[in-house]
Amino acid sequence: MAAVEPPATAGPADDLALLRAHEPVLAYTKGEYFLPTDIERYIATASLWLDGEKARELIPAGELNLAALLVAADAHPERRLFLRYVPKAASGREVRRWRKGHPTGIRRTGRLAAVGFVARLIDVLLRLSLLIRGTVPGGVMTKAAEQYHASGAAHSSPYYGRVVRRGGYVILQYWYFYSANDWRSTFSGVNDHEADWEMVTVYLAEDAASGTVSPRWVAFSSHDYTGDDLRRRWDDPDLTLVDGTHPVVFAGAGSHSGAFLAGDYLVTVNPRFLGTAARWWRRSAEFLRRQARTGDDHGFGIPFIDYARGDGARVGPGQDREWEPVLIDDDTPWVRGFRGLWGVDTRDWAGGERAPAGPRYERDGTVRFSWADPLGWAGLHKVAPDDGGLERSLKSRIAELDDRIAEADEQTGPLQQGARDRHAEVLSLRTEAQTVKAAAERLGEARVAEASVTRLIRERTALAEERAVHQKVLERGGLPLQDPQAHITRSHKPYDPGDRKHHGILLQIWAAVSVPLLFLAVVTVLLLPEDRTKIPSLLAILVVFAGLEALARRRLMTTAVSVAVLLVGGGILISVLEWTARHARDAFLITMGVAALLLLLVNVRDFFRR
């Protein structure tokens, strides 16, 4: 068997019953301000705007509802629309008062200590980019939290459920809407934006003969993961189930991204403007890591902590609050009809601070990959929903192999005879002087024919070996028990950058002050009056900072050896290049002399070996 058989769910049942039977449990971090909410309450508080060189308000807050939203969308198909949830940001005083009354209780961990100096330098550039990007103004998230709790939206938690039947699977999509994503402002994450859509998908195997379905896979929307890495098998040890049918999702604080295990996650973000540099850095780091046989590294990206601790509120069957399901599909008017953004459009060129579109659409109005192709989104087109699919596929492949093997057998004899005919002609043509040249040409044809026979036999052997393996699997009744995580290439595990075993207090302090100190040191050097001293001073600063970084990471000896090797190797290379430049003629003569001597030694050795 390919997997442990989970208990079957009776069916066929209507879509709502299927959704209720496998409702996820969402476990939040203590201090989370926003839980899933009702879109109608949100829209009633929001205003509708028409995008343009200067955004224009179409419908003010308090006058908007779903019907008016769809009428406006129909009236302006040529322009982008967006909702605005917060009309005016809270003042600094209001922010401080709110946070004092609603502390998150999260003890911050040293995210900068988790990565190297280059990543921390890029982190500063990303923070500075907020000054020139379109971002959510300070205080907006505080005002959003106030409105969310004041409107009564915090007292109900619906999900928007969609059921799709494709490729032998029954696909249950659970869409959750949040009034805001406050990851940056509240939890020191990457971004803030009004509105947030997240999704959990459960994949059921459908047995048409018995009329039953049973859960096989589950996938959560996540920051860094795509395809196979998004999903877990129902018997995966990392997957927590309530009553065997309800998967537990640990939602990131502020970001609401899904995780399978409770903990703090280091989410690596590679800014778009780094482009090729980031790709080359990752490849180089991966190569060096393999050579050194070191553990995981967090690469060139800028790390941010996603707190998915699961120690706060829980929503789901038997939890603090129950779900209120709402069925949606392709024909639901607001799902199909509104392609705009569900929050304010900041026009952020990096994308992170813009509000999302609805469950069906991307920000540009095109249909979401996860909506249009939920199997492809989780890498499941290649995976049969049950072992019956495996058996059918293998039998089909064996039949195809039988045909190709028979075809190869039919072709081998004539090709072999053709090669022998050409060779016989060669032997005959060699008996007369005037046909020796023709014999040489015919010999080439014979060798080509023989190579064709050899290639065909090699291919036939490989086909027969493949057939034998497939036949053996069928005779055994299927595959042996597979590792439930065999399909995963990048494991999504918690990471604790505040662990004193890995990142002591010295490293955390150094990680916080190193980049500002470097900037001050560079500015000081550039202000020196003597130009001759600037380059040596900058090099000295780099050496000192590398030494302090190594000391903080307890890698002083390794770094010292590496620097020494680089300095010695660089010195030798520079000396050779300088000597060559000054004595080009002598270098050429010496090179030729050494080459001649080596050639002579090789020839003499070969002579005495005869």
Backbone angles phi, psi at 311, to 5 degrees: -100, 10
Mean pLDDT, range 128-151, rounded to an integer: 78
DSSP state of 9: B
Residues 177, 50 share a domain: yes
Residues 510, 533 share a domain: yes
Q: Which of 331, 353, 369 lies closest to 227, judged by CA?
A: 369
CA distance 57 to 305: 36
Q: 442 lies in a domain? A: yes
Residues 459, 316 share a domain: no
Residues 303, 164 share a domain: yes
CA distance readout (Å), 350 to 53, 122, 329, 347: 19, 15, 31, 9
Residues 324, 446 share a domain: no
Q: 366 lies in a domain? A: yes
326/221: higher pLDDT: 326
Q: 158 lies in a domain? A: yes
Is the pLDDT score of 1 beyond 50? no
Q: Give DSSP secondary structure letters for 341-363.
A: BSS-----TTSTTSPPB-TTB-T
Q: What angle do CA 146, 149, 153 make, to 5 degrees?
A: 135
Strand partners, 219: 201, 231
Tokens of 12: 């066929």
Mean pLDDT, range 541-546, rounded to an integer: 75
- Condensed to tens digits (0 to 9), the pLDDT of residues 351-388 reads 678 999 999 999 999 999 999 999 999 999 999 888 77
Residues 234, 112 share a domain: yes
Q: How many domains does the chain contain in total?
A: 3
Burial of 94 (0-12, 13-18, 19+ CB in 10 A): middle
Residues 441, 329 share a domain: no
- Condensed to tens digits (0 to 9), the pLDDT of residues 472-529 reads 999 988 888 888 888 888 888 887 554 444 456 766 677 677 777 777 887 887 777 7
Q: What is the dihedral of CA 89, 91, 96, 102, to 10 degrees?
A: -30
Residues 242, 145 share a domain: yes
Q: 481 lies in a domain? A: no
Per the structure, the complete domain to which residue 541 belongs is given by 505-591
Mean pLDDT, range 241-245, rounded to an integer: 95
Q: 578 lies in a domain? A: yes
99/595: higher pLDDT: 99
CA distance readout (Å), 565 to 536, 560, 599: 20, 9, 33
- b (16+ CB within 10 A) / e for 102-141: eebebeebbbbbbbbbebbebbeebeeebeebebbeebbb
CA distance readout (Å), 278 to 112, 281, 283, 500: 18, 5, 9, 29
Looking at residue 562, its pLDDT comes to 64
CA distance 260 to 218: 10
Q: What is the dihedral of CA 506, 508, 513, 514, to 10 degrees?
A: 80
CA distance 231 to 239: 10
Helix (H, G, I), strand (E, B) or coil at 176: strand
Residues 406, 350 share a domain: no
Tokens of 395: 């039998």
CA distance 308 to 117: 26
CA distance 48 to 61: 8
Q: Contact at 8 Å (CB) between 402 and 395? A: no
Q: 409 lies in a domain? A: yes
Is the pLDDT score of 396 beyond 90? yes
Q: 600 lies in a domain? A: no
- b (16+ CB within 10 A) / e for 47-67: bbbbbeeeeeebbebeebeee
Backbone angles phi, psi at 206, to 5 degrees: -105, 125
Residues 392, 374 share a domain: no
Is the pLDDT score of 240 beyond 90? yes
CA distance 455 to 445: 15
Q: 510 lies in a domain? A: yes
- Condensed to tens digits (0 to 9), the pLDDT of residues 9-62 reads 444 458 999 999 999 999 999 999 999 999 999 999 999 999 887 889 999 999
Q: Contact at 8 Å (CB) between 48 and 69? A: yes
Residues 410, 341 share a domain: no
Looking at residue 128, its pLDDT comes to 67
CA distance 173 to 160: 8
Looking at residue 477, its pLDDT comes to 84
Residues 566, 543 share a domain: yes
